[in-house]
Amino acid sequence: MRTYRLAVVKGDGIGPEVTEAALRGMHAAARRCGFSLDTADVDLGAERYLRTGEVLDEGTVSALRTHDAVLLGAVGDPRVPPGILERGLIVALRVAFAQSVNIRPVRLYPGVQSPIRGVTAQNCDLVVIRENTEGLYTGGGTLAHAGTPHAVAVQNSLTTVAATTDTVEFAFRLAQERRRRVTLCHKTNILMHAGQLWQEVVDQVALRYPEVEHDYVHADAMCQHLPLDPGRFDVVVTDNLFGDIISDLGATVQGGLGLAASANYNVAGSAPSMYEPVHGSAPDIAGKGWANPAAAALSAALCLAGLGEREAALCLEAATASVLAELPSLAGPGMGSDTAALGERIAARVMDVD
Amino acid sequence: MRTYRLAVVKGDGIGPEVTEAALRGMHAAARRCGFSLDTADVDLGAERYLRTGEVLDEGTVSALRTHDAVLLGAVGDPRVPPGILERGLIVALRVAFAQSVNIRPVRLYPGVQSPIRGVTAQNCDLVVIRENTEGLYTGGGTLAHAGTPHAVAVQNSLTTVAATTDTVEFAFRLAQERRRRVTLCHKTNILMHAGQLWQEVVDQVALRYPEVEHDYVHADAMCQHLPLDPGRFDVVVTDNLFGDIISDLGATVQGGLGLAASANYNVAGSAPSMYEPVHGSAPDIAGKGWANPAAAALSAALCLAGLGEREAALCLEAATASVLAELPSLAGPGMGSDTAALGERIAARVMDVD
Ligand SMILES: CC(C)[C@H](C(=O)O)[C@@H](O)C(=O)O
Ligand SMILES: CC(C)[C@H](C(=O)O)[C@@H](O)C(=O)O
């Protein structure tokens, strides 16, 4: 029996709860499809940082690297200053493992109500493909004369053909299996240098996918088109910062961050990919059993797909969607079940869906 | 009788139609409040560029500078390559006239339906204050090895204390007259240099406004909070690029770009401020009379306020809102009146509102 080695970073707040629930669903899908998952907990996140002062050490990076994939719950705590975990852990892992493509499906599942009028399960099924290692996330720059009236900040964005091409190729390949339309989202009329590079890469890659149409929407205009007419999009490809923003908008359209999954994907297979719900650690509801494990379970489904276990991935996604459709409310005490019970329901449903 | 000198750039597409309608309302408000407007048309935009190859010449800049304010319709045409008018005209004027503050009210007017469930005239009344001359809009950078597999793009963001302080001061001053809450929107956990400068300026300015509360929301998280809970915001202060994006999101929340007004404001009074609807030139509907002049009329109201004519501004805003509430649909043939007729209705209503 094929066994995959999965590193599990449960993290902080609701991270452990939702990850455990998602793992139940994942193990069930593995059982159903005849493979197994060998999981190893890896201690990273705010809790570890507050305890030890360490964010990410070389030993942990090397240990993670030996796994087939990394499943991450959520990291974060209000006591940790901004940037420490975001840049020092999440972005650092994305870069260390060359996870140049971030995959964020925006899908309204049946039975879930979008906060936007007119958005339905029929017209809301797109995927945001975000470059995941570059742009403004390279973080270079200076703050000179900080704290004085002469302070001036430079913040640099760096964009290479390599990571951009990985991302755009991935988007076109995905679109070819879907509705065959790629939309570049950028702000090429203002970010002329980076914008030209993105547009050139899209035009180049498009030549190799003659059956896939492509068009362009500015990042600001996306804030109208995505909520008001999600059906016009199939695959949206974008840079790191725009992707961060519009994928959160997508999460709103699909019913909330509690339902938004993501994959940080290493296209070359040279290091593990990492799968995480888009939501944070939500310390305010940690331990209450009020967290919806759907985003974690859907991220686990992306993980199965990333491992090549497509059928298992589809089972876990379908099971999660089916349980979601039964919930009286999407989170909190009104959910009708607690996080752990939902994990069990998803696992049981994995065996039933066809 | 006090006379203000107003430069009018009607621009392209629906620009002339909506500007003429807005001017009717403006003149009515002036008449009602006992002052007058001396308007001069200034030829700028895509049409001029396509005719003459010129985007913005020194003579025009000097001519505009002699006016008390600039009213702009919309510029743009699909035949003009991206960036030419955006950077060469709009951004160039914002910079030339030190219009460091962009004011974008997000208000759901009574009778207008938001596309977001639960958003009402009661809970949607905020203002986005956007820095308007800096950040990534400075446009510096390089695209090296363009069109080759080694292409690499650098795009620089520059942030100074001066423009940031103008913007933040303006936000706090405005909040003090409103519901006394300022929210900084940025991505300080990733854009550490620019983010630190923004946070420091907010913390500094806040000391001078002890009655105004302030908090912070990341730009990505704003894509949930702004649509789902607009009532939690009073004044949102943000940088140029985030402001571009989230003010368009705000426009969606308030019922569409057709209702979104903006002011490019020179705080020092050293050059004219410029007022423009957020929507574009919409060449597809130009000349049909289908364009809603509300955004232009509300921008004209901001212009009156900027000139110090507060009562006239309130009259024009109220008249526009009152006419809006009567429209069967917000744009297109279903609007029930054409653009010019709506201008007349707004002008007539200016005389009636109290
Ligand atoms: C935690 C943070 C680094 C991250 C990002 O900005 O990419 C998050 O917002 C996300 O979208 O995954
Ligand atoms: C036309 C363009 C330069 C502009 C911007 O990006 O600021 C527009 O989108 C706006 O928001 O006023």
Task: Tell me the residues of chain B between 163 and 182 that have a Cβ less than 8 Å away from chain A.
Answer: none
pLDDT of residue B350: 98
Q: Could B155 and A245 be called an inter-chain contact, meaning their C-beta atoms sit closer than 8 Å? A: no
Written as six digits, the tokens of A122 are 């029929």
Write the residue in A83, A197, A221 that is nearest to B151 by C-beta.
Answer: A197
Provide the 8-state DSSP code for B328. S
Token look-up 């509907």 returns B285
B120 pLDDT more than 90: yes
Residue B138 contacts A where some CB pair is shorter than 8 Å: no
B354 pLDDT more than 90: no
Token look-up 């003009």 returns B80
In angstroms, rounded to a whole number, what is the distance separating the alpha carbons of residues A30 and B147?
Answer: 45
Would you say the CB of residue B136 lies under 6 angstroms from ligand 2? Answer: no
* Cα B69 to Cα A270, B66, B168, B259, distances in angstroms: 59, 9, 22, 21
A94 pLDDT more than 90: yes
Residue A78 contacts B where some CB pair is shorter than 8 Å: no
Domains (range + CATH), chain B: 1-97+271-354 (3.40.718.10)
Greatest alpha-carbon span in chain A? 66
Residue A141 contacts B where some CB pair is shorter than 8 Å: yes
For chain A, the average pLDDT equals 97
Per-residue pLDDT averaged across A200-227, rounded? Answer: 98
In angstroms, rounded to a whole number, what is the distance separating the alpha carbons of residues A234 and A178?
Answer: 7
- C-alpha neighbours within 13 Å on the C-beta side of residue A87: 17
Please enumerate in sequence order all residues whose Cβ is within 8 A of that of B285, keeping only pairs 6 or more positions apart, or say none: B13, B14, B291, B331, B332
pLDDT of residue A67: 98
* Cα B155 to Cα A244, B150, B235, B348, distances in angstroms: 18, 16, 29, 49
* Cα A17 to Cα A332, B67, B204, B215, distances in angstroms: 14, 63, 40, 29
User: A143 to chain B: nearest residue by CA?
Assistant: B193
B59 pLDDT more than 90: yes
Would you say the CB of residue A190 lies under 6 angstroms from ligand 2? Answer: yes
pLDDT of residue A139: 96
Collapse the DSSP code of A20 into the 3-class scheme (helix H, G, I; strand E, B; otherwise coil) and give the result.
Answer: helix
Per-residue pLDDT averaged across A89-118, rounded? Answer: 97
pLDDT of residue B264: 98
In angstroms, rounded to a whole number, what is the distance separating the alpha carbons of residues B166 and B98?
Answer: 10
- Alpha helices of B236-338 — where are they, by DSSP H? 240-253, 294-306, 310-324
Would you say the CB of residue B44 lies under 6 angstroms from ligand 2? Answer: no
Helix (H) or strand (E) holding B274: strand B273-277
Residue B144 contacts A where some CB pair is shorter than 8 Å: no
Ligand nearest to the CA of A99: 1
Task: Tell me the residues of chain B between 103 and 132 that have a Cβ less than 8 Å away from chain A.
Answer: 113, 115-118
In angstroms, rounded to a whole number, what is the distance separating the alpha carbons of residues B144 and B129?
Answer: 35
Residue B325 neighbours by CB distance under 10 Å: 12
Written as six digits, the tokens of A246 are 């519009």
Q: Contact, A266 vs A275, CB < 8 A? A: no
Q: Contact, B75 vs B90, CB < 8 A? A: yes
Q: Could B136 and A191 be called an inter-chain contact, meaning their C-beta atoms sit closer than 8 Å? A: yes
- Alpha helices of B129-239 — where are they, by DSSP H? 161-177, 192-207, 219-228
Please enumerate in sequence order all residues whose Cβ is within 8 A of that of B227, keeping only pairs 6 or more positions apart, or say none: A115, A116, A227, A252, B116, B119, B249, B252, B253
Per-position b or e across B95-134, b if 16+ CB within 10 A of its CB? bbbbbbbbbbbbbbbeebebbbeebebeebbbbbbbbbbb
- Structure confidence at residue A257 as a pLDDT band (50, 70, 90): confident
Q: Which atom of ligand 2 is nearest to the CA of A220?
A: 9
**Spacing, Cα B252 to ligand 1 middle (Å):** 24
pLDDT of residue B257: 87
In angstroms, rounded to a whole number, what is the distance separating the alpha carbons of residues B291 and B18?
Answer: 7
Q: Which atom of ligand 1 is nearest to the CA of B221?
A: 9
Query: To the nearest 10°, the Cα dihedral for A166, B221, A226, A162?
Result: -10
Per-residue pLDDT averaged across B163-178, rounded? Answer: 98
Written as six digits, the tokens of B85 are 């008018």
Written as six digits, the tokens of B342 are 């709506």
Q: Contact, B216 vs B113, CB < 8 A? A: no
Nearest protein CA to atom 3 of ligand 1, as residue: A86
Q: Which of A36-40, A326-330, B198-202, B320-324 has the lowest mean pLDDT?
A: A326-330
pLDDT in tens, B16-46: 999 999 999 999 999 999 999 999 999 999 9
Task: Give the mutation target among B12, B75, B84, B91 for probing the ligand 2 site: most ligand atoms within 8 A of CB.
Answer: B91
Ligand nearest to the CA of A103: 1
Nearest protein CA to atom 12 of ligand 2, as residue: B278
Phi, psi for residue B308 in degrees, rounded to 5: 95, 5
Please enumerate in sequence order all residues whose Cβ is within 8 A of that of B346, keeping only pairs 6 or more positions apart, or say none: B21, B22, B24, B25, B28, B293, B297, B316, B319, B320, B323
Would you say the CB of residue B224 lies under 6 angstroms from ligand 1? Answer: no
pLDDT of residue A354: 82
Q: Could B188 and A156 be called an inter-chain contact, meaning their C-beta atoms sit closer than 8 Å? A: no
Residue B195 contacts A where some CB pair is shorter than 8 Å: yes
Written as six digits, the tokens of A150 are 């002469």
pLDDT in tens, B221-275: 999 999 999 999 999 999 999 999 999 999 999 999 889 999 999 999 999 999 9
Per-residue pLDDT averaged across B65-79, rounded? Answer: 98
Would you say the CB of residue B276 lies under 6 angstroms from ligand 2? Answer: no
**Spacing, Cα A278 to ligand 1 middle (Å):** 8
Written as six digits, the tokens of B136 are 């990534």
Ligand nearest to the CA of B264: 2
* Residues of A in Cβ contact (< 8 Å) with B191: 136, 139, 141, 155
pLDDT of residue A18: 98
Share of chain A above pLDDT 70, in %: 100
Q: Contact, B115 vs A118, CB < 8 A? A: yes
Collapse the DSSP code of B261 into the 3-class scheme (helix H, G, I; strand E, B; otherwise coil) and give the result.
Answer: strand
Provide the 8-state DSSP code for A135. B
Angle at A341 between CA A338 and CA A345, to 5 degrees: 130
Residue B330 contacts A where some CB pair is shorter than 8 Å: no
Q: Could B190 and A118 be called an inter-chain contact, meaning their C-beta atoms sit closer than 8 Å? A: no
